[in-house]
Structure 1
Amino acid sequence: MLRPTLGHRSRPAPARRGMTTVETALVLTVFCMLLFGIFEYTRFLFVLQMTNNAARDGARYAAVNVSMPSTFDTTDYTDSAGNVYTNVTSYTNARMGAGTVSLTPPPAVYQIGGYQYSVTVYAVDPTGLALSPPVIRADPNATSWNNTSFPNLIAVTLTGTYTSIAPSLLFMPSTVPLTVTGTASCEG
C-alpha cells in the first residue's frame, strides 16, 4: 500500500473563479446571434415568398378581369345585378395576409408587420420582353391594363421595404428594398 510522504503533498490548482461565467457569456452571445440570424433570415424568406405569391395571384386575377372598368385596379366594381367584385389591389392585399392600410392616396401603401408595400397594376411593354435579359416594364404607349389583348401580359408589382427585427445585433441593414412582379397572359 502506498502512502503519501509528509514532505511531498500535492497542492490543488489555484481556483479560477469566474472562468465558467465568462465562457458561458461568450458562447451564449455567439449562439444568440446565430439564433436571431436564423429567425431573421426565415422571416425574410417568408415575406419574400408571400410577396411572390400575392403578385402572381394578383396578376392572374387582373388577367381574367380585363372586361372590368379601367378603375378596377383600385376601385371595387358592382354590376347591374348588384354583385360586388373586389378590385385587383384589394385582392392582392388579401393574398398578403390582409395588412392594414397606412396611407390612402394611390398607390396605397400597406403594412404587414415590418414590411411596407404598394401594389401597381399595368400592361407589360412587349418590346421589353424582347430584350436580353427580358425587362418587365409598363407599356410606354399608356395602354391601360384592361385594354390588352391575348398575347400580351398584365403585371402586378409589389414594391416595398422589409424592416429587420434586430439589425444592429445582426450587423445587417435595417431595411431591405423588395420589388416583386407577377405576370399573367391576358385572357380577354
Structure 2
Amino acid sequence: MTLFPSMQHYLRIKGSDPLLVPSFNITEKREGAAMVEMAVVLVVFLMMFMGILEYGRYYYLVQVSNNAVREAARYAVVHTGDGTTSTQVSNVATTKMNGTQNMLSGYTVSVQNVNTSTGVAIPNSNWNDAQFGGAIMVKISGTYTPSAPFLLFLPSSFTFQAATIMNSEGN
C-alpha cells in the first residue's frame, strides 16, 4: 500500500521501520499548470486592482464635487440682491469642477432658496430672494457610470448628487 500513489519513488529512512517518505521526481511534466494558476490569480488580482482604481476615481469625484458646491454656495450667499444669476453661480461650480463634470452624464447645477430647518426648496421663490440668514442650496447632480461595472459587479450607472446649504449674507 502506498501513501502517495502519484509518487513513483520512495526513500527508506535508515534504522527504522520501513517508513516510506516521498521523494519528488524532478522530471515529471507539469506543462500548463503554472499558466492555469496564473490565470486564476490574475483574474482576482485584476478585479481587485480595477476596484481600487474605480473607488479612487469615484472618491475623487465626490471630493471635487463637494468642494465645487461649497465654493459656489459661498459665491451665492454674498451675491443675493445684486443681480447675480443662477448661471453665474453655476459657472463658479463648473469652474471648480475642473473638468471632473465630464465623469457625469446629465451634469446640472441648481441654486435654490430652501427652508433653513428642513432643507426643502421654498416654492415660487428665487435663490436671490433669500433674506439675511435664509438658506441657499447649491446642488450638483448627474449620472455616474463606472469604468468597468461588469467586472466589479456594480450597476451600469447610478445617480450622483452633491449639495451644500449656507445662510445668506446679503439682502
Aligned residues: 147
1:11 shift after superposition:
8.3
1:93 corresponds to which letter in structure 2?
T
**Alignment-derived partner of residue 38 in structure 2:** 24
1:69 corresponds to which letter in structure 2?
G
1:123 corresponds to which letter in structure 2?
N
Q: Does structure 1 residue 46 correspond to structure 2 residue 60?
A: yes
Q: Aligned match of 2:72 in 34, 55, 58?
A: 58
Pairing 1:98-113 to 2, within 5 Å after superposition: 98=99, 111-112=101-102
Q: Does structure 1 residue 115 correspond to structure 2 residue 116?
A: no
Indicate how the Cα distance of structure 1 residues 22 and 68 shifts in structure 2: closer, same or farther if over 3 A, else same. Answer: same
1:161 shift after superposition:
1.1
| Structure 1: gaps (5+ residues) | 1-9, 75-86, 100-110, 130-134
Moved over 4 A (4+): none
Q: Does structure 1 residue 139 correspond to structure 2 residue 122?
A: yes
Q: Whose Rg is larger?
A: 2
Q: Aligned match of 1:173 in 147, 150, 155?
A: 155
1:68 shift after superposition:
2.5
1:98 shift after superposition:
4.3
**Alignment-derived partner of residue 78 in structure 1:** none
**Alignment-derived partner of residue 95 in structure 1:** 96
Q: Secondary structure at the match of 2:98?
A: coil
Q: Let me know the Cα RMSD of the aligned residues.
A: 2.0
| Structure 2: gaps (5+ residues) | 1-22
Q: Secondary structure at the match of 1:174?
A: coil
Q: Secondary structure at the match of 2:41?
A: helix
Q: TM-score, normalised by structure 2?
A: 0.79
Q: Distance in 1 between matches of 2:24 and 2:139?
A: 75
Q: Does structure 1 residue 164 correspond to structure 2 residue 159?
A: no
Q: TM-score, normalised by structure 1?
A: 0.72
Are the equivalent residues in 2 in contact too, given 1:60–1:183 (CA < 8 A)? Answer: no
**Alignment-derived partner of residue 6 in structure 1:** none
Q: Secondary structure at the match of 1:61?
A: helix
Indicate how the Cα distance of structure 1 residues 146 and 15 shifts in structure 2: closer, same or farther if over 3 A, else same. Answer: same
Q: Distance in 1 between matches of 2:31 and 2:152?
A: 31
Indicate how the Cα distance of structure 1 residues 15 and 157 shifts in structure 2: closer, same or farther if over 3 A, else same. Answer: same
Are the equivalent residues in 2 in contact too, given 1:156–1:181 (CA < 8 A)? Answer: yes
Q: Distance in 2 between matches of 1:60 and 1:11?
A: 73
